[in-house]
Chain A
Amino acid sequence: MGAYVLRRLGYGVGVVLGVLFLLFLLFFTITAPEDIARKALGDKAPPEAIQTWLENHEYDRPLWPWQDWDENLLFDHYRKMLTFDFGVSDADDSPIIDRIKAGMGPSLSLTVPLLVLGLLISIPLSLLVAFFRETYIDRMGVFLCVLAMSVSTLLYIIGAQFLIGKVLRWYPISGFDASLAMLPRFLALPVLVGLISGVGGDVRFYRTVFLEESNRDFVRTARAKGAGEARIMVFHVLRNAMIPILTRVVLAIPFLFMGALLLEAFFGIPGLGSMTVDAIQSNDFSTMRTMVYIGSLLFVFGQVATDISYGLVDPRVSVE
Chain B
Amino acid sequence: MALLEVRDLRTAFPSKGGMTPVVDGVSFDLERGKVLALVGESGSGKSMTALSTLRLVPKPGRVTSGSVKLDGEELLSLPVTEMRRIRGGRIGMIFQEPMTCLNPVVRVGAQVAEAILLHESMSKADARSRARELFVEVGIPDPEERLDAYPHHLSGGLKQRVMIAMALSTRPEILIADEPTTALDVTVQAQILDLLRDLQQKRNAAILLITHDLGIVNELADRVAVMYAGRLVEMADRVSLLSDPLHPYTQGLLRSIPALSAPGEPLPEIPGVVPSPDQWPVGCRFSTRCPKRFEPCADQFPAESNPGVGRRVWCHAVAESAGEGAS
Q: Interface residues, chain A, CB within 8 Å of chain B?
A: 134, 216-218, 220-228, 236, 239-240, 243, 314-316
On whether the beta carbons of A226 and B85 are closer than 8 Å, the reply is yes
A149 CA / B7 CA spacing, docked (Å) = 51
- In the complex, residue of chain B having the shortest beta-carbon distance to the beta carbon of A225: B88
Residues A225 and B114 in contact in the complex (CB < 8 Å), given A220-B56, A315-B152: yes
A219 CA / B54 CA spacing, docked (Å) = 15
Question: What 0/1 readout, one digit per residue, does chain B (162-195) give for beta carbons within 8 Å of chain A?
Answer: 0100110000000000000000000000000000
On whether the beta carbons of B106 and A224 are closer than 8 Å, the reply is no
- Which parts of B53-107 form the interface with A (CB within 8 Å)? 54, 56, 58-60, 81, 84-89, 92-93, 95, 97, 100-106
Chain A nearest CB from B82 CB (Å) reads: 11
Say yes or no: is B118 at the interface (Cβ < 8 Å to chain A): yes
Chain A nearest CB from B22 CB (Å) reads: 17
Contacts of A228 in B (CB 8 A): 81, 84
- In the complex, residue of chain B having the shortest beta-carbon distance to the beta carbon of A318: B152
Contacts of A223 in B (CB 8 A): 56, 87
On whether the beta carbons of A224 and B87 are closer than 8 Å, the reply is yes
Say yes or no: is B13 at the interface (Cβ < 8 Å to chain A): no
On whether the beta carbons of B95 and A220 are closer than 8 Å, the reply is yes
A227 CA / B84 CA spacing, docked (Å) = 7
On whether the beta carbons of A226 and B102 are closer than 8 Å, the reply is no
- In the complex, residue of chain A having the shortest beta-carbon distance to the beta carbon of B102: A218
Say yes or no: is B301 at the interface (Cβ < 8 Å to chain A): no
On whether the beta carbons of A222 and B103 are closer than 8 Å, the reply is yes
Residues A226 and B95 in contact in the complex (CB < 8 Å), given A239-B105, A240-B103, A315-B152: no
Number of A-B contacts (CB under 8 A): 73
Say yes or no: is B150 at the interface (Cβ < 8 Å to chain A): yes
On whether the beta carbons of B118 and A240 are closer than 8 Å, the reply is no
On whether the beta carbons of B106 and A220 are closer than 8 Å, the reply is no
Pick from A218, A226, A227: contact of B100, CB below 8 A: A218
Contacts of A314 in B (CB 8 A): 105
On whether the beta carbons of A224 and B100 are closer than 8 Å, the reply is no
Say yes or no: is B119 at the interface (Cβ < 8 Å to chain A): yes
Contacts of B118 in A (CB 8 A): 225-227
Contacts of A239 in B (CB 8 A): 103, 105-106
- In the complex, residue of chain A having the shortest beta-carbon distance to the beta carbon of B149: A315
On whether the beta carbons of A316 and B103 are closer than 8 Å, the reply is no
Contacts of A221 in B (CB 8 A): 95, 101-103, 163, 166
Residues A226 and B119 in contact in the complex (CB < 8 Å), given A134-B60, A315-B152, A316-B150: yes
- In the complex, residue of chain A having the shortest beta-carbon distance to the beta carbon of B107: A315
Pick from B54, B56, B88, B152: contact of A316, CB below 8 A: B152
A218 CA / B163 CA spacing, docked (Å) = 11
Say yes or no: is B115 at the interface (Cβ < 8 Å to chain A): yes
A222 CA / B114 CA spacing, docked (Å) = 9
On whether the beta carbons of A225 and B104 are closer than 8 Å, the reply is no
A223 CA / B54 CA spacing, docked (Å) = 10
A279 CA / B53 CA spacing, docked (Å) = 68
A83 CA / B85 CA spacing, docked (Å) = 66
Chain B nearest CB from A81 CB (Å) reads: 41
What are 17 sample pairs from A and B whose C-beta atoms fall under 8 A apart?
A217-B97, A218-B101, A218-B103, A220-B56, A221-B95, A221-B102, A221-B166, A224-B88, A224-B95, A224-B167, A226-B88, A227-B84, A227-B118, A239-B103, A240-B105, A315-B152, A316-B105
On whether the beta carbons of B100 and A225 are closer than 8 Å, the reply is no
On whether the beta carbons of A315 and B85 are closer than 8 Å, the reply is no
A316 CA / B106 CA spacing, docked (Å) = 11
On whether the beta carbons of B60 and A220 are closer than 8 Å, the reply is no
Contacts of A225 in B (CB 8 A): 87-88, 114-115, 118, 166
Chain A nearest CB from B90 CB (Å) reads: 10
Chain A nearest CB from B161 CB (Å) reads: 14
A315 CA / B87 CA spacing, docked (Å) = 29
On whether the beta carbons of B152 and A224 are closer than 8 Å, the reply is no
Contacts of B97 in A (CB 8 A): 217
